Amino acid sequence: MGTAPSWLDTAGAVLLLLWTATMWAAVGVLAYALRRPVRPWTRPLATGVIGLGVLGQLGHVQEHVAQVGYWAVHPQAAPWMTPWGTALADGFGQVDMTKPSLGMEILHFSGNLIFLAGLVGVALVTRDAFGTKSRRWARTGVWMQGLHGVEHLVLMTSVWLGAPRAIGLSTWLGLMPPGPGLWTYRVWWHLVANAVGTMIFALALWHLWRERRAGAVNRSAARPVSMAAVDTPGARPRTVHEESLRAT
């Protein structure tokens, strides 16, 4: 991040920022829509939110895998970023050029927000599917990734406010001095956090797919809902999860 950012760096950062904002705007619309009778556009919107969350996390987790791969070859060297990760960080870093690590912190915070939006999408469409594994794993993922997002928010904010070192659990609250110890700990900390979160996301999607194929969703663990019953005039509106099951 020593050279002046190019227009491509800036464009990439702006596009990623717009992607993040659009994802959360869509999550808000989806949350609102699911409180009302299912509309034709609700299911494609939910699919889009979840799909873009998957795409974003694939890009995010590969960055952490690449960093650990570099660490395995150069364990004493400072953390490395892929060329595309560096370009995006350079673009974001223009917010305050006096803080060299700020762009990287903004980049990873944005990546985590995109990932979290995808998980929230699964949690929303399974909100009323009580007792299902997809709902259980989605809620677990939202809690875990939500806490991970707070970690990145604190890291980013601390650097932005002028702390000499990023403050967070992955830096021992900023108490560890720069060096191989801190670099190793932080690189592995974030890889493990993202690997576990990605596996939870995958399990939520796997069970969502299986439940859709099986066509077996309960309104509650104690009171199963007949799909024929929800076609009865005056019955409660179907959820997006039930609509997807009904469509199979």
Task: Spell out the domain ranges in the chain.
Answer: 7-212
- Mind listing the pLDDT tens digit for each residue in 203-218? 999 999 999 888 744 4
Q: How far apart are CA 5 and CA 10, in angstroms?
A: 7
The upper half-sphere exposure of residue 95, i.e. CA atoms within 13 Å in the direction of its Cβ, equals 21
pLDDT at 232 exceeding the cut of 50: no
Residue 8 has pLDDT above 90, yes or no: yes
Average pLDDT (121-131) is 93
Q: Tell me what the pLDDT averaged over the chain comes to.
A: 88
Whether the per-residue pLDDT at 246 is higher than 70: the answer is no
Strand segments, DSSP code E, in 43-196 are none
Residue 239 has pLDDT above 80, yes or no: no
Average pLDDT over residues 85-98: 96
Residue 163's pLDDT is 95
* Residue with token string 């979160």: 197
